[in-house]
Every structure is written in C-alpha cells, then in structure tokens.
C-alpha cells in the first residue's frame, strides 16, 4: 500500500497513469490555497469532471476503506485538502459542509497569520486564536484533520495540545536536517509522535539538504533519524509534488490576493519558479526508489510497509469520521 499525503500537480491523465504505474493507492491533493468557499466548490466541480473522465484511474476518496478499494481495483483514491483555512471564510458552519463535500485535511495557516493560527513566515507567533480554538473543536467533531505543515512553532504545539484527536503535518521535514522555515523542531516532532499524530516527509527541494542535489541516502537516513525521535508508527510521505506546474503558479501559492508585492518565500532571492526535483524522485513512478533507499539504510520490510502507506491508512481509519464518545 502506497499513500502520498500531499500533492499539488498540474493534474492530467498522464499523471493519473503515473500514479497507477507507481502503485500509489491514495493521494491527498490540495484543492485550495487562498480560495474562498465558492471558489473551492468550483475546484471540487473540476475534480468531479476528472472523476467522470478517468474512472479507470481515479475516484474520490472519503474514508480509509477507499484506499483498500483503490488497491483492489488498481486505481488511486483522491482525498481533498486545503493549505489555508480560507475556504471556511469566517463561518464555522462551513467546516461541516466542506467535510460533507469530501474535504479531509485543512491547514490552520499557510505561511501568514490567519483567523485561526500563525504561519511559519511571521516574526511573532501568538498561538491559536479564539476562533482557532472553536474551529479545532469543530474539526475534531466532524472528522476534518488539522494540518500544521505551514504553521509556526507555538501555534503547532498548541494545536497538538488543544485537539482531542491526533493532528497531521502532511508535508515537512525535521529542522535538525535542513533548517527551512517550514521544517519542524525536535519539540514539535516529539509532541506529534507522543500524541499519535503523523508527519509526511516532503521531497520539495527547498526543504531538502542540498536542495535538488539531495542524495537518496541522505534523505533516507534523515527518515531513520526521525523515526528514532518520534517513532516509526508516525511517519509517512507527503511529497509536495508540484509536477508539470508552470512557474506562474508559484505566485498564486505565495502571494494570493494578500499583497501587491512579490513574496515567493522559501528563501528565494531570484526569479520565481519551481526548483528541479532530486534525480531519484521526479514523479509518482519513483516511490520504488524511496522504498529501496529505506531498506538500504536498515529499515525492516515491515517498517517500510508502514512508512510507504500503512501508517497513513491507520490514521485515516481513526480520523475521517465523526468523533465518538
């Protein structure tokens, strides 16, 4: 079973075929960066057309059992998520409505301060806001996973503490390996593991040691070191694959509508654009390279199976439905 907990590709039949060829049974896809509720619904409509056009390759995932169906039928279950809480606007009632439309993950902030929490690019982090506390409780109630991938330290630790259900950091790496703004501290990773949460390792070059020149051995040794820190049962993939996206998409990701200035983030000091991926991970067909790399640094076959998808599948089972008393 192979599960990738974050992709934002310029999706096409070719990419869906590559998911099939790579044996990827579930993918959490970003369907909103800065969109409001109605714009997010339009993105869901777009995905519905893809589900209609390519039923031999993909279908909408809503529950953990959908991953099992995907594996049995040779397809990929697509799970929706937001990198920003903008789809709920300032209306807590939209949490349940978006969950009913298939949303399963929502970040509480994307780099900047939001109505709910602080992003990792802000100079000061006052933590979870008053609305954030209420939204966390509502997300817990309906089964919408709290994602803190782009959030700052205090906000992330408070989200872990406030949430009655384990949270996720779907796409980030440990700061001890590469000190990117989004990568997480030892304190966050330990708290995440101890609370039953999940970390998805990112292959996005800005978060890798050596960027696009990062070696497979370095990456897989980092995975092993993280497993020692937070436990092998709490790690998986969140590749952050942005395959076939034009460089212009970076502007929407970083700037949205909140500024007139260029803010490409991630330490970029030159023209915007997507960096080159490492040679060992260009698309969904390359998960086999990572699996081989994990075995090479000493993981057992059983632990590799957990990291490739078993851990995320278990997390899906306990996270996507309404809270039980």
pLDDT at 246: 82
Domain ranges of the chain: 3-319
Three-class secondary structure of residue 81 per DSSP: strand
What pLDDT shows up at residue 268?
47
Beta bridge partner(s), residue 60: 78
Q: Are 105 and 170 in contact (CB under 8 A)?
A: yes
Which pairing describes strands 235-237 and 198-201: parallel, antiparallel, or unpaired? parallel
The pLDDT score that the predictor gives to residue 265 is 58
| 3-class DSSP assignment, residue 84 | coil
Q: Which CATH superfamily is domain 3-319 in?
A: Metal-dependent hydrolases (3.20.20.140)
Task: Give the predicted TM-score (pTM) of the model.
Answer: 0.95
Question: pLDDT at position 325, please?
Answer: 55
Q: What are phi and psi of 230, to 5 degrees?
A: -125, 0
Distances (CA, A) of 134 to 91, 107, 210, 283: 11, 15, 40, 38
Instruction: Give CA–CA dist 282/276, Å, rounded.
Output: 9
Full pLDDT tens readout for the chain, 325 residues: 999 999 999 999 999 999 999 999 999 999 999 999 999 999 999 999 999 999 999 999 999 999 999 999 999 999 999 999 999 999 999 999 999 999 999 999 999 999 999 999 999 999 999 999 999 999 999 999 999 999 999 999 999 999 999 999 999 999 999 999 999 999 999 999 999 999 999 999 988 999 999 999 999 999 999 999 999 999 999 999 999 888 777 777 778 888 888 765 555 454 567 788 999 999 999 999 999 999 999 999 999 999 999 999 999 999 999 987 5
How many other CB atoms sit within 10 Å of the CB of residue 231? Answer: 16
Report the pLDDT value the prediction gives residue 271, as an integer from 0 to 100.
54
Can you give the pLDDT at residue 272? 61
């Amino acid at each position: 079973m192979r599960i990738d907990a974050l992709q934002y590709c310029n999706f096409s039949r070719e990419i869906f075929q590559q998911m099939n060829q790579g044996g990827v049974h579930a993918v959490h896809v970003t369907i909103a960066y800065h969109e409001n509720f109605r714009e997010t619904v339009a993105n869901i409509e777009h995905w519905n057309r893809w589900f209609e056009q390519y039923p031999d390759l993909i279908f909408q995932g809503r529950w953990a059992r959908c991953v099992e169906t995907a594996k049995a039928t040779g397809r990929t279950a697509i799970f929706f998520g937001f990198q920003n809480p903008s789809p709920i606007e300032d209306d807590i009632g939209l949490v349940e409505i978006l969950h009913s439309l298939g949303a399963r993950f929502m970040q509480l902030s994307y780099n900047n301060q939001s109505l709910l929490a602080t992003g990792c690019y802000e100079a000061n982090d006052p933590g979870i806001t008053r609305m954030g506390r209420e939204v966390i409780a509502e997300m817990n109630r309906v089964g919408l996973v709290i994602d803190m991938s782009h959030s700052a330290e205090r906000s992330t630790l408070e989200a872990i503490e406030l949430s009655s259900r384990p949270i996720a950091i779907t796409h980030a790496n440990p700061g001890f390996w590469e000190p990117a703004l989004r990568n997480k501290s030892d304190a966050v990773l330990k708290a995440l593991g101890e609370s039953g949460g999940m970390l998805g390792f990112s292959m996005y070059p800005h978060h890798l040691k050596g960027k696009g020149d990062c070696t497979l051995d370095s990456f897989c040794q980092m995975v092993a070191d993280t497993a020692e820190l937070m436990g092998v049962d709490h790690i998986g993939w969140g590749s952050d694959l942005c395959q076939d996206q034009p460089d212009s998409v970076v502007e929407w990701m970083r700037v949205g509508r909140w500024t007139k200035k260029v803010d490409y983030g991630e330490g970029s000091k030159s023209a915007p654009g997507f960096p080159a991926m490492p040679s060992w991970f260009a698309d969904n067909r390359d998960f086999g390279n990572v699996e081989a790399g994990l075995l090479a640094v000493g993981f057992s076959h059983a632990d590799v199976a957990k990291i490739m998808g078993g851990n995320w599948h278990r997390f899906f089972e306990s996270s996507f439905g309404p809270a039980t008393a």
